[in-house]
A and B are shown apart, each in its own frame.
Chain A
Amino acid sequence: MSTERITKKLTFKTFRFNAETDFLPYFKTYEMEVGKDELVLDILNRIKWEFDGSFSYRRSCRHGICGSCSIKVNGKPVLSCKQNVWELVEIFGTDTLLLEPQSKKRVVKDMIIDKKDFWDKHKAVKPWLEAEIDEHPEAEIRVSPEEAEALLEADYCIQCGNCYYACPAVEVNEEFFGPAQFAKAFRFNADVRDTAKRERLETVREMGPGIWDCVKCFECAEACPKDVDPIGKITKLHNQLFEEGLAQDNVATRHAVGFKHSIKKHGLLDEGELVRYSEGNIGVMKHLPEAIAMFKKGKIVMPWNMPKSKNLDEIKTLIKTSSKVKF
């Protein structure tokens, strides 16, 4: 049997920047033979050990549990110690891989970023258990397997920041808490021992920083190396707001509830009426320029021409008997 090591010659275009000495970032290119078992962290190590000792990145556990070594490769957020390099070559169909920090605008040195915004927002959602617990308990507090399952993997989060720095809403709205933070809020809200659910929901329901500004792109679910599914938890928080009677009357909540009213009336959505219902009679005026442009192009359906689903009675019956939430 041959013992020859199978390798590929790969090129790594690597983001370099030192906030203390550099005015602008630049890219440095490194070429090396890479074996099929090598991980991105192996490449970061080899760049530092074989090419340039000043190259900087975070690393710690090497077991996919500390979340330190996250970077982006060709735009894909990866946990360096978990991501195989050849797999990336296959995904992108190229022998040149671009190594970049999670967020270029937060770079301190090379792959190292300042995660202060991440941690500040993380802290804002009370990422801990609040419970009245006897300081000298005589028996353990038991959580049943079913109660633990209700956390829906939310406690697997390792705070790597992959979802947060992949989130396009975070990128353009610095207030927005972000997916990891919402997943954490859900994690403790879903814990039977916790007593701060209401407080967390009041925090995450605000427009701007809160859950309503999620763009529903699923980048967070895709980026998560632990299958936490942050957007699934964001949806759960939306549901909790309505279930707990904490949903405020605003454009976002009316937009969600408006779907039910419209479907009940037509089966299909009355798009124009939904916008008016969500925005209110005055707020809807700001959409006038787009509405006029659409009207001119025959894209506005008049109320008397609104299409209806066939067998609408079935839909009405199902809404009446299946709807479990009030607003």
Chain B
Amino acid sequence: MAELKYALYTGCTARESTPELLMSTMAVAKKLGIELILLDEASCCGASHLQDFDDFLSLVLNARNICYAEKQELPMLTICNTCQLNTVMTKERLDSDENLKSQVNEKLAEVGLEYKGTSSVRHFLYAIIDDYGLDKLAEQVVKPLNDFNVAAFYGCHNIRPSHIHHVHNAKVIEKDVGEGGGEQAFDTTELLARYNDNENPYNPTSLDRLIEALQGKSVDYESKNKCCGFHADLQSPKTANRLTGTALLDAIDNDADMMVTPCPLCHLNMDVKQHTVAKEMGRDISLPVLHLPQLIGLALGIDPKELGLKHNVAEVNFV
């Protein structure tokens, strides 16, 4: 396999309220031999809220972020579902609308940049599964998770809206198969099926299969592909707390020993707010919630300190 190298877009959360996400991502990448170049020039993606206020500005800023991955001639790697969606949405809008692209490039030219559309955008979850490979990952496991029931919590923005992710993936696939693939690549079910980020939002499987590759037992529960309510935390806390609480209790009621999520925003709600949410739901809630690279790192035998487990609010008491 060719050496894996990405331009890492950390987003804001991994630099601030979830430092453990950045620590564990770097540790896992190092262990697996994946090279990450930090995009220190990148700005916030707007997290879908700047988009409510000033859509054009959010396009310009997200396009600028992609420019820096393009300068490195690398695919961009994200570690936040919301960053992934906002970046891919920007990319798909610019790549499909020459007029909009030229308006954005007119602004970017003021700072000496040009958005070309040459870098793909990949979430860490799918980079591990599709690019590194689950079989290869399974071979690296030194501390199998076979004593644990792990509840996968997918988070909305990696799986919905599926057509945006699928369109983006189809282009990545076309690029992968080269000129010979052409139009056929778009229509070939077999080819698309190879790419796990093409999953169906009503039955996502990638995270569950990753848990199984680490020899954990994936918990079957209804809330795995539901919303944690993060984006309404401030304006509608009752709504957010009830959605977070429903998912946590669903996992607990289905015998989960822990939860894992590829989204730091879901993590903040699920991990930090358990006490508040418990009051809203009228039940005690206590469940370790791990970031995806923390879970992988444990199975790879990485020192828990390197994975930043001490930063998790809900105690990770099984380590």
Contact = CB atoms under 8 A, between A and B. Distances in A.
A163 B202 CA distance: 14
A294 B50 contact: no
A128 interface: no
B231 to A, nearest CB: 4
B156 interface: yes
Given A215-B240, A263-B43, A307-B16, A317 B52 contact: no
A270 B17 CA distance: 10
Interface string A217-249: 111011000000101000100110010000000
A309 interface: yes
B40 A309 contact: yes
B234 A318 contact: no
A324 B56 contact: yes
Interface residues of B, number: 65
A298 B21 CA distance: 13
A251 B53 contact: no
A327 B54 CA distance: 10
Interface string B275-298: 110000000000000000000000
B269 to A, nearest CB: 10
Given A215-B240, A222-B162, A322-B107, A298 B227 contact: no
A267 B56 CA distance: 17
B239 A169 contact: yes
B55 interface: yes
Interface size bracket, A side: 35 or more
Contact of A324 (B57, B108, B273): B57
30 contacts: A91-B202, A168-B229, A168-B243, A169-B239, A176-B239, A207-B236, A215-B239, A218-B156, A219-B227, A222-B202, A238-B53, A242-B53, A242-B54, A263-B43, A268-B15, A271-B12, A279-B234, A290-B273, A297-B313, A299-B16, A300-B17, A307-B16, A310-B40, A311-B111, A318-B64, A319-B57, A319-B61, A321-B110, A323-B57, A324-B56
Interface of A: 74-76, 91-93, 168-169, 172-173, 176, 207-208, 212-219, 221-222, 229, 231, 235, 238-239, 242, 250-253, 255-257, 259-260, 262-263, 267-272, 275, 278-279, 289-290, 293-294, 297-301, 306-307, 309-311, 313-315, 317-319, 321-325, 327
Given A221-B161, A259-B47, A268-B16, 8 more contacts: A172-B243, A215-B240, A294-B17, A294-B313, A299-B272, A301-B15, A315-B64, A322-B107
